[in-house]
Amino acid sequence: MKKLAAVGVVLALIAGAAFYLINRRVTAPYRGYSTPEQIIEIPSGIGPNEIGRRLVTAGVIRDQATFRLALSMSRSARRLQAGDYRFDRPMSAVEVIGKIARGEVDLVSITFPEGLTIAEMSKIFEASGLGSASAFAEAARNVALIREFDGVAADLEGYLFPDTYAVPHRADASVVVGLMIDRFRRVLTPELRAAAEARSITVRQLVTLASIVEKETARPDERARVAAVYANRLRIGMALQCDPTVIYALQKTGTYNGNLRRDDLQFDSPYNTYRYPGLPPGPIAAPGKGSIEAAAQPAATGDLYFVSRNDGSHEFARTLDEHNQNVRKYQIQYFRERRLSRP
């Protein structure tokens, strides 16, 4: 009887030691790579064995036996999710499997500010490392994405909604562009479309006006009033005379050098609102939500003019006489005093 008891104790000790060693094997942090980080791609459709092989090859998990033990203990074999995973510190096999089972994929964050053109967005896309600027520009020509509300667009200018997007490392330009159009669709609510229809303007005209508002002011409290100036001008058949439309026309031909000269106001382009009446043919930039809302519902004012106060804000006027007085105060007199104050 004593021998049986002794045997039982020995077996218990062996079992305990084995459990300890196994537990330590799958819970001990491990890092078998010398680079600062490892990005592991787990494609959709591959099985646990292949996932384990990739992790072991990359030095994230010590060996296949450790992977299989941890997978068995976690019971996560059917929950492993596809995606790109970043590993930049020692982690146990259990932690690694848990991360993949929870789908904690590594994403690239890319931010497109308001008021950019497709060409400018292309440069941001390329800088993110997701692909080339030309690939983004090509994806931005997929007008099928907006046919439901714009049947004449030649590209997606104005419809690529400015925002911050988190995408997988291997997301190409078409994925990013698709997300931007989806975001635009959510921003363009039925209420905004109804407001545009009530003013007898199409979605394209709405976005075009919104893009002008976006380029003219960065102040949320001014957007509806700036929109009112242009809406009032359109209503009475007055030329919009909007500098950003001329700049856009020059950019499209590669002749803009950062300075708008008086002679440029005569540049022959349908986007030049000094020469051609009404709205330009299409958007000149990507407007944000505030500018779209302002274009859909301009302020109830009789303003026809505005001029910069040189601090980011503007002075508005209803008559040309008032506007000329404001120009003298905020432009002519302001810059004259600055010149005189220079040592």
Question: What per-residue confidence (pLDDT) applies to 16?
Answer: 39
- CA 331, CA 337: separation in Å to the nearest integer? 10
Tens digit of each residue's pLDDT, the chain (343 residues): 555 444 443 344 344 333 444 567 888 999 999 999 999 999 988 999 999 999 999 999 999 999 999 998 888 888 899 999 999 999 999 999 999 999 999 899 999 999 999 999 999 999 999 999 999 999 999 999 999 999 999 999 999 999 999 998 888 999 999 999 999 999 999 999 999 999 999 999 999 999 999 999 999 999 999 999 999 999 999 999 999 999 999 999 999 988 899 899 999 999 999 999 999 999 999 999 999 999 999 999 999 999 999 999 999 999 999 999 999 999 888 677 666 666 6
Take residue 328 and report the two structure tokens written for it.
């003298």
Take residue 70 and report the two structure tokens written for it.
């941890």
Place of tokens 């997929």: 142
135 residue type, one letter: A
Question: What per-residue confidence (pLDDT) applies to 12?
Answer: 41
How far from 43 is each of 233, 237, 328, CA to CA, in Å?
A: 56, 58, 65
- Nearest C-alpha neighbor of 48 from the set 72, 75, 76, 77: 77
- The fold for domain 17-101 equals Dna Ligase; domain 1 (3.30.1490)
Q: pTM for this one?
A: 0.82
Question: What per-residue confidence (pLDDT) applies to 7?
Answer: 44
- Asked if 53 contacts 65 with a C-beta cutoff of 8 angstroms, the reply is no
Question: What per-residue confidence (pLDDT) applies to 337?
Answer: 66
Q: Where are the domains of the chain?
A: 17-101, 107-187, 201-303
For the chain, what is the radius of gyration of the CA atoms?
Answer: 31
- CA 159, CA 153: separation in Å to the nearest integer? 10
- CA 54, CA 319: separation in Å to the nearest integer? 72
Q: Which residues, 6 or more positions from 27, have their beta carbon under 8 angstroms from its beta carbon?
A: 92, 93, 94
Question: What per-residue confidence (pLDDT) applies to 340?
Answer: 65
Question: What per-residue confidence (pLDDT) applies to 46?
Answer: 92
Q: Which residues, 6 or more positions from 245, have their beta carbon under 8 angstroms from its beta carbon?
A: 212, 271, 272, 273, 280, 284
Question: What per-residue confidence (pLDDT) applies to 80?
Answer: 92
- Nearest C-alpha neighbor of 153 from the set 166, 162, 164, 142: 142
- CA 131, CA 124: separation in Å to the nearest integer? 10
